[in-house]
Amino acid sequence: MKLNIAVLPGDGIGPEITQQSVKVLKAVADRFDHEFQFDDALVGAAAIDLLENPLPEATLDLCLKSDAVLFGAIGHPKYDNNPDAKVRPEQGLLKLRKELGLFANIRPVRTYEKLLDQSPLKRERIAGADMVIYRELTGGIYFGEKSTAEDGKSAQDLCFYSEEEIDRIAHLAFKAAQQRRNKLTLVDKANVLETSRLWRKTVKTIAREYPDVELDFLFVDNAAMQMILNPKQFDVILTENMFGDILSDEASVIGGSIGLLASASVGTKNAMFEPIHGSYPQATGKGIANPVASVLSAAMLLDHFNLIEEANAVRKAVELSIKLNVCTEDINKDNHYSTEKVGDFLEGLI
């Protein structure tokens, strides 16, 4: 298969981890006789520094015409602590999601036997936990109209959802549930928000088309608690943009490190693959960032093009590396390997 892959390393640890996935993907191309073409482009703070634009035209063009985007991370503290900054790295990511129409962000969460004791949660609570979060990614309060009053003394953000936006991701989530344990949990705040009531109503209607999937509902506050009390209860979680952002970061504690969590963002035409961790600026350049989240995102990329054997080879490599403790310091305190060494090891296993 021939694939054009746009590589957007971005900020902080983005470049160093993305480099490892590119290595792994190249090894996959070699072994399975594919032709993967990689093209780098600027995004985020890196792009602002050079071009004053977190998503330069050239980057967007490249992404639009590529088969897939491999994304690193975005964000820089110099913007976070400046509420007056007019241009921010995150705008690059948000605009990219919007322009590529990536409405569904898919975030699998699982445990590894070897890492069960790394989690802050007790082993018996998490052993066997295996869920996937379907987070709506191009709507809600992230993209609604936002403004600050002239006098700077008030501000607002609008959370808007249409039936259509809910529909398309809900179908994906129900279908995923059918391939898994046939359970879907909608997380919302329907006792307070009008948009949540629209979600509940729309998803209930769609559920009739999937009679083999059991549907239940949780308020987001309760879900944030249940995620820790009993993560094994979840199979597929479906939720809106902001709640999905919060819950998936929270869920990262189950696996033992946020450095393990991959994601795929899909639309009707394009697809992007990115670790759920951020740019982790404090770690930049130190060789301590865990490349696994990015490498597993690359595996999701392979899945996306139905290269299942290839994706499984990548996942197997990751599993072995964890089993053998060839891991970065987030999950291997005593005798850790560098970002690059872990990447080399994974590459070697393909």
Ligand X SMILES: CC(C)[C@H](C(=O)O)[C@@H](O)C(=O)O
Backbone φ and ψ for 320, nearest 5 degrees, come out as -65, -45
* Whether the Cβ atoms of residue 264 and residue 137 lie closer than 8 Å to each other: no
Starting at the earlier edge strand, list the strands of the sheet with 271-273: 35-40, 2-10, 68-73, 271-273, 264-266, 104-110, 130-136, 236-239, 183-188, 214-219
Q: Rounded CA gap, 75 and 284, in Å?
A: 12
The length of the chain, given as a count of residues: 350
Residue 90 touching ligand X (CB under 6 A): yes
Q: Which of 30, 52, 113, 194 binds a copy of itself (CB under 8 A)?
A: 194
Q: Rounded CA gap, 337 and 340, in Å?
A: 8
Helix (H) or strand (E) holding 62: helix 57-65
121 binds, among a copy of itself, ligand X, none (CB under 5 to 8 A by kind): a copy of itself
Catalytic, 142? Answer yes
Q: Rounded CA gap, 267 and 304, in Å?
A: 11
Residue 81 touching a copy of itself (CB under 8 A): yes
Q: Please check if 212 is assigned to a binding site.
A: no
Residue 43 touching a copy of itself (CB under 8 A): no
Q: Which of 258, 293, 313, 326 binds a copy of itself (CB under 8 A)?
A: 258
Q: Rounded CA gap, 13 and 287, in Å?
A: 9
Q: Which of 84, 191, 208, 211 binds ligand X (CB under 6 A)?
A: 191
Please tell me the count of residues contacting a copy of itself according to CB under 8 A: 67
From 216, 234, 236, select the one nearest 169 (Cα to Cα). 236
The one catalytic residue among 23, 79, 134, 142: 142
Q: Rounded CA gap, 103 and 336, in Å?
A: 37
Residue 190 touching a copy of itself (CB under 8 A): yes
Q: Rounded CA gap, 88 and 20, in Å?
A: 27
Catalytic, 245? Answer yes
Q: Which of 195, 290, 321, 328 binds a copy of itself (CB under 8 A)?
A: 195
What residues between 212 and 271 interact with ligand X by CB under 6 A?
Answer: 221, 245
Q: Please check if 135 is assigned to a binding site.
A: yes
Return the residue matching tokens 């890492």. Answer: 115
* Whether the Cβ atoms of residue 174 and residue 108 lie closer than 8 Å to each other: no
Structural tokens at position 313: 């080879």
Q: Which of 148, 282, 306, 325 binds a copy of itself (CB under 8 A)?
A: 148
Residue 81 touching ligand X (CB under 6 A): no
Q: Which residues bind a copy of itself (CB under 8 A)?
A: 75, 79-81, 83-84, 88, 90, 94, 120-122, 125, 141-142, 144, 146-148, 152-164, 189-195, 197-198, 200-201, 204, 217, 219-222, 224-225, 227-230, 242-243, 245-250, 252-253, 258, 278
Q: Which residues of the shown chain bind ligand X in the complex (CB under 6 A)?
A: 74-75, 90, 93, 191-192, 221, 245, 276, 278
Q: Provide the annotated active-site residues.
A: 142, 189, 221, 245, 249
